[in-house]
Structure 1
Amino acid sequence: MLNKRAKVHSLLSMFMVLLVLNFSLSQVDELKLLLSFKSSINDPSGFLSNWNSSTPLCLWHGITCNKFSKVKIIQLTNKNISRAILSSIFHLPKIESIDLSTNNLFGEIPYDMAFSMSLQYLNLNQNYLTDTVPNCSTSLEILDLSANSLSGKIPPQIGVECSNLKELDLGGNYLVGRIPSSISNISSLQALTLAGNKLIGQIPRELSKLKSMKWIYFGYNHLSGEIPQELVDLVSLNHLDLVYNNLNGQIPSSLGNLTNLQYLFLYRNKLTGLLPRSIFGLKKLVELDLSENYLLGEIPELIIELRSLQVLHLYSNNFIGKIPNALAYLPYIQVVSFYSNSLTEEIPSSICNTSSIEVLDLFDNNLSGIIPPCLGNFSKGLSILDLEMNSFHGTIPETFGEDCGLRNLNLNGNKLEGSLPRSLANCKNLEMMDIGDNKLNGAFPYWLDTLSKLQVLVLRSNKLRGILQSSKTIHPFPKLRILDLANNEFTGPMPKGIIKNMKAMMNLGEQHSSLQYMQGRYYSYHVNLTVKGFYIKLHILTTFTSIDLSNNNFHGEIPNVIGKLSLLRGLNLSHNSLSGHIPMSMGNLANLEWLDLSSNQLTGQIPDQLKDMTFLAFLNLSYNQLTGPIPQGKQFNTFENGSYEGNLALCGLPLSKSCKNDGRKQSSPSFLKEANDSETEINFGWKVVLMGYGCGIIFGVVIGYVTFRNGEPKWFVTLYGVKYHRKGRRCSRN
């Protein structure tokens, strides 16, 4: 009996040794594999510093082990040996996940890195790892290699070696070739992201086998062909994103059978035809984006069937007809973007029944009529109202209430008249206002400076007039970074009081860094400005600042305080009646990229301090009365004759007129006189001379007549008689 018990103990001991040995070998293999991976890449941040043999594997950075798995020993010969005791002895660590995302790792991933360590989750997202997609084990469920620099093709064997994957993310790399149809063998796959690569070819029809698929994201590639009808078999799909490809043909009507679909993104392709009626059967649809295609026809009233819809983007297509009244009956609609189509007629007043709307973007259509007065207060949540480039007429509604939530009001390029409504002062959150290119009249709306969040103010190309007086507000326009009042009828001196309070254009250190331009998930902020001599549509950047007061009747000197706007990138004061010298303080505008002071009456020399504007790419000082040598060096060596034409007293390169003195001394009176010798001024001088001659002749005749009538004075007879007598003697000799 004792011998039997001893044999059982010896066998059990051997089994335990073998089991521990097997585990040890397995753990050593995993350790070697991970250390090999570490040696193949660079780790500048030192995130993998504790990946060494002296640190327990489960304590390595980025590695997570699950609870110890119990080893069950079956068919033990001796019932006196407690299974519970054995179970408590053998608790083997098991690596569950490796997460090394966003650590700036770079280098190659070894292709033979098999991950045969019972991994369930591997995340190497947002590093700089190169080479192709590595092998993976059959136990891996989530593989995220996105936002790296992986190249090559997606290996076809991925459908066999990764058979248990639930999520595969290879987006944001440099992968090429076609999408392998073998991916359809991964029957458990629920999310597939291949976006942001260079993949070509058609979408494999075999993907219709993936009955568990919920998420497909193939955007930002070069995929072509039609959208497969077979995708209708993906009954679990709730997210389909195929944006920024070259897909063509019509939108398959079969997509209407994807009854679980919540997000459908097909924008920036080459899709044609009408909207399929079946689309409006997607009762769960939350976001629909079909913009930037070639879709046509009317936007049907059937849109009323999409009761769950929150975001609707149909911009940049060829839609015609009117805005559907059905929009008013979508209870959750937040974003309506129909810009750059050919929609006509008026905005239906029924749209004001939609209290949930936040963004209404109808820019660049053929809409007409008046702006519905209810748009001023129909939605407390309305933050974006963009009606730019239509044909609205009449006045801007005076209905903006105290609960106005507007952040952006863009009415540029219409036919609106009257003055700016004072009720806009209730819109305390207003960040951008563009009412340019209309027919507004009256004085400058000085009350706008109470809008403390206003960053962009564009009133260009209207009929506004009067003097820009100093504001009574203590800190007017504290966040203003774009001011465009060009092409109006403003007079008086430049608005020094406004300029000196533009804190957002001054370098105030940390205070400025906290200022950010408006940002929107569903709307891209843009403005039309004259930049470097060209009138363009500009998407607003974080650091953009500019002032344009051109084509008005401002006079007087340019205030020195303008030199404090050190963050200014563009300044246009052209076509006014400004006089005096160019202030030397302008040299402090170190970030200036364009400067236009043309067609004024500026005098004196071009300050040498302007050479400190090292980012200056466009300079126009033409048609002034500037004198002396042009500064040489730095950016001034890049400007051509056109920057200085019309200043006859300027000299030095690039002009052909050389300077007599190399120094830049103050000009003498004679030199200043030369600066005024324009063609007009020369003609004026000859007129004065001729007038002098005429007056002299008349005066002489009158004096002579009076003199001779009253008798010849002795001095005249003596002087004239002697000269005449001598002249007569010369004549007789001849």
Structure 2
Amino acid sequence: MNSSCSYPSNHQSMIPLVSSPTGIPLPHCACGMESVATIFLGNNNLTGGLPNCSISLEILDLGNNLFSGNIPPQIGVCSNLKELHLEGNNLVGRIPSSISNISSLQILTLACNELIGQIPHALSKMKSLKWIYFGHNNLSGAIPRELFNLVSLNHLDLVDNNLSGQIPSSLGNLTNLQYLFLYENKLTGLLPRSIFGLKKLVELDLSYNHLSGEIPELIIELKSLEILHLSSNNFIGKIPNALAFLPCLQLVRLSLNSLTGEIPSLICKISSIEVLNLADNNLSGTISPCLGNFSNRLSILDLQSNSFHGTILETFREDCGLRNINFNGNKLEGSLPRSLANCKNLEMMDVGDNKINGTFPYWLYTLPELQVLVLRSNKLHGVLQSSKIIHPFLKLRILDLSNNDFTGPLPKGIIKNLKAMMNLSEQQSSLQYMQGRYYYYHVNLTVKGFYSEFPEISKTLTSIDLSNNNFHGEIPSVIGKLRSLRGLNLSHNSLGSQIPTSMGNLTSLEWLDLSSNKLTGQIPNELTDMTFLAFLNVSHNRLTGPIPQGKQFSTLENGSYEGNLALCGFPLSKACNNDGRKQSSPSFLKEADDSESKISFGWKIVLMGYGCGLIFGAVIGYVTFRNGEPKWFVTLFRVKYH
């Protein structure tokens, strides 16, 4: 017998197991001992099929392992089970109806497997169930109405399946329900009125479905509600005023719908709110001044992709708690309010694609936590001056000032302080994302020539975009210190001089766009050290000489270099000499050479003619004149001079 099944003679009431080696099969005796009441074998690497269990078991936790196959029908004999945890495995097939024989079961978690088929109607017999967690499977069909007869249910999670149809009105029977998660399915229809009778509901997430209609004012009945997620549906109408009378509300996400009208000023009465996401709707009007000062708990304010107009008022309070402001894609104008400098915890500010004007807001230098700054596609102008702050933008990782009217040289004083773009070790330590509570930061950036959406912002993402402005002068060599930079776009400016060799130090760079400038000289060979470079565009400049060869440069195409008439080498059709000069001269020099050779050849013929004629004439003249004056000669000269 395996040593893991050897216990003292008085028997164990609990079997814990943690950190097993990879791929160990579970001994069947572990679940079959008659006097064992509780088995915790979760979060290991156990393999094989699910074992049989004894009638004495009350808690069986096999979650987060590598078990495969079907859930056996014999699971129904475990009649004393109170908790069954099978989540996070590789289980397939249907949920067996026999599982409903476990009438004492209170917690049933089958999430994160590959289960298919419909939810068994027989589950309605399990009157003791308090927690159902079937999320992240491939379950289909309608939600059984009978499921909502489980009046003890506290937590219902059916997320990320293929469930369809309407939400049954019998949902209102679940008077003890506190958590309802049905997001990422294919549910349709209106919100059932019965849902607003769930007085104990704390979290409601119906996002990413096909629900329609208006959000009714009846939502005022959900006095215990803290989290409201209705994003990515087809809701219409106005934001209900009733939200202002939910005293516990902490998070509101109504994004990606078709809501219209203005933000009700009453919403500023929700002093407990932390996240307000109304992005991607058809909302209009001005941004209410109270949104900047009604609560120091508000950390996320996302109003992007609506039709808000007017100015952003100077109303941000001194104890502003905002960490993320996203007003991108509206019709806002005027200058950015200086009171935003009060938001010392601000990590991200995106006001791109508006009509913001004025010069660069230098008070941004005073925001010590700022990591993402997007001011693209506005009407900002002027020279980017160096900061008087000793170390501005120490944490800045994404800077997008593209499509404005900035002038002057590139901001060397800003670039040399971007410490977060210099430290490779911290950036590569682990894959983490910028986020708040129930909210991932997101941004749109031009990457490899395409405007791309990043629904999550990795903390390893670093990018500078200064394209489509009027910057001139040279590219400062200090830019080579940004060793963790992944994207750089300086295209469509008036930058001149040579590409600095220090850019070869940007060994993390994945895309580089220097196109449509006035750059001269050769492309530095040091750029071949950019081993992650997947996109390069230096087209439409005044570059000369051979294109560097090897490494990533071997993967680039002609379009990367077009519009530079004096470049040569692969992938262009113009070859270079061994010394790096082109074999063929430019066309105007070639024509000049051809013209000179033709003239030279013509004069040779003329001189040869003169030589032959001179000798022939001398001989004939001598013979003629010696024999007397010819008549044609006398006649010719008499006529001419008469």
Relative to the length of structure 2, the TM-score reads: 0.89
Number of the residue aligned with 1:478 = 394
Q: Aligned to 1:284, which of 185, 191, 200?
A: 200
Matches within 5 A, 1:68-467: 93-111=10-28, 113-116=30-33, 118-160=35-77, 162-467=78-383
Moved more, 146-155 or 306-315: 146-155
Q: Write out per-residue CA displacement over residues 639-667 of structure 1, whole angstroms, 9 at most, x where no aligned residue.
A: 00000000111111110000012x45xx7
Matches within 5 A, 1:549-568: 549-568=466-485
1:643 has 2:590 as partner: no
| 1:418 shift after superposition | 0.2
CA contact (8 A) 1:251 1:276 kept: yes
Number of the residue aligned with 1:61 = none
The 1-side partners of 2:571 and 2:235 are apart by 53
The 1-side partners of 2:458 and 2:19 are apart by 26
The 2-side partners of 1:444 and 1:343 are apart by 34
Unaligned runs of 5+ in 1: 1-31, 38-52, 59-91, 683-728
Q: Write out per-residue CA displacement over residues 151-210 of structure 1, whole angstroms, 9 at most, x where no aligned residue.
A: 1100000111x2211111111111111000111111111100111111111111111111
Q: 1:200 corresponds to which letter in structure 2?
A: I
| 1:109 shift after superposition | 2.4
The 1-side partners of 2:284 and 2:260 are apart by 7
Number of the residue aligned with 2:498 = 581
Q: Write out per-residue CA displacement over residues 401-435 of structure 1, whole angstroms, 9 at most, x where no aligned residue.
A: 10100000000000000000000000000000000
1:611 has 2:611 as partner: no
The 2-side partners of 1:155 and 1:516 are apart by 38
Q: 2:565 corresponds to which letter in structure 1?
A: L
Moved more, 325-334 or 146-155: 146-155
The 2-side partners of 1:554 and 1:400 are apart by 33
| 1:106 shift after superposition | 1.7
Q: 1:116 corresponds to which letter in structure 2?
A: M
| 1:289 shift after superposition | 0.4
Q: Write out per-residue CA displacement over residues 378-401 of structure 1, whole angstroms, 9 at most, x where no aligned residue.
A: 111000000000000000121001
CA contact (8 A) 2:20 2:45 kept: no
Q: Aligned to 1:569, which of 480, 483, 486?
A: 486
CA contact (8 A) 2:427 2:460 kept: no
The 2-side partners of 1:555 and 1:507 are apart by 28
Q: Which has the higher contact order (CA 8 A, sep 6+)?
A: 2
Q: 1:349 corresponds to which letter in structure 2?
A: S
The 1-side partners of 2:151 and 2:451 are apart by 50
Q: Write out per-residue CA displacement over residues 603-648 of structure 1, whole angstroms, 9 at most, x where no aligned residue.
A: 1111111111111111111001111111111111100000000011
Paired residue secondary structure (2:523): coil
The 2-side partners of 1:408 and 1:166 are apart by 43
CA contact (8 A) 1:102 1:125 kept: no
Distance 1:519 1:229, change over 3 A: same
| 1:93 shift after superposition | 3.0
CA contact (8 A) 1:223 1:245 kept: yes
Q: Write out per-residue CA displacement over residues 300-355 of structure 1, whole angstroms, 9 at most, x where no aligned residue.
A: 00000000000000010000000000000000000000000000000000101110
CA contact (8 A) 1:111 1:132 kept: no
Number of the residue aligned with 2:602 = none
| 1:118 shift after superposition | 2.1
The 2-side partners of 1:638 and 1:604 are apart by 22
Distance 1:610 1:117, change over 3 A: farther
CA contact (8 A) 1:181 1:206 kept: yes
Paired residue secondary structure (2:119): coil
CA contact (8 A) 2:166 2:187 kept: yes
Number of the residue aligned with 1:724 = none
Relative to the length of structure 1, the TM-score reads: 0.78
CA contact (8 A) 2:427 2:484 kept: no
Matches within 5 A, 1:588-603: 588-603=505-520
| 1:516 shift after superposition | 6.6
The 2-side partners of 1:103 and 1:599 are apart by 59
Number of the residue aligned with 1:75 = none
Distance 1:231 1:432, change over 3 A: same
Paired residue secondary structure (2:244): helix
Distance 1:644 1:362, change over 3 A: same
| 1:674 shift after superposition | 5.5
Distance 1:479 1:367, change over 3 A: same
CA contact (8 A) 1:176 1:198 kept: yes
| 1:105 shift after superposition | 3.5
CA contact (8 A) 2:428 2:460 kept: no
Paired residue secondary structure (1:232): helix
| 1:515 shift after superposition | 11
1:548 has 2:548 as partner: no
The 1-side partners of 2:432 and 2:212 are apart by 38
Q: Which has the larger radius of gyration?
A: 1
Distance 1:581 1:103, change over 3 A: farther
CA contact (8 A) 1:317 1:340 kept: yes
Paired residue secondary structure (2:322): coil
Moved more, 420-429 or 582-591: 582-591
Aligned length: 593
Distance 1:213 1:413, change over 3 A: same
The 2-side partners of 1:222 and 1:424 are apart by 46
1:632 has 2:549 as partner: yes
The 2-side partners of 1:305 and 1:113 are apart by 49
| 1:359 shift after superposition | 0.5
Distance 1:210 1:345, change over 3 A: same
Paired residue secondary structure (2:282): coil
Q: 1:525 corresponds to which letter in structure 2?
A: Y
Distance 1:257 1:204, change over 3 A: same
| 1:95 shift after superposition | 1.1
The 2-side partners of 1:555 and 1:384 are apart by 37
Paired residue secondary structure (2:519): strand
CA contact (8 A) 2:46 2:66 kept: yes
| 1:446 shift after superposition | 1.1
The 1-side partners of 2:471 and 2:428 are apart by 30
The 1-side partners of 2:553 and 2:60 are apart by 56
| 1:34 shift after superposition | 4.0
Q: 2:41 corresponds to which letter in structure 1?
A: L
Number of the residue aligned with 2:603 = none
CA contact (8 A) 2:380 2:404 kept: yes
The 2-side partners of 1:143 and 1:228 are apart by 26
Distance 1:517 1:195, change over 3 A: closer
CA contact (8 A) 1:214 1:238 kept: yes
Distance 1:553 1:376, change over 3 A: same
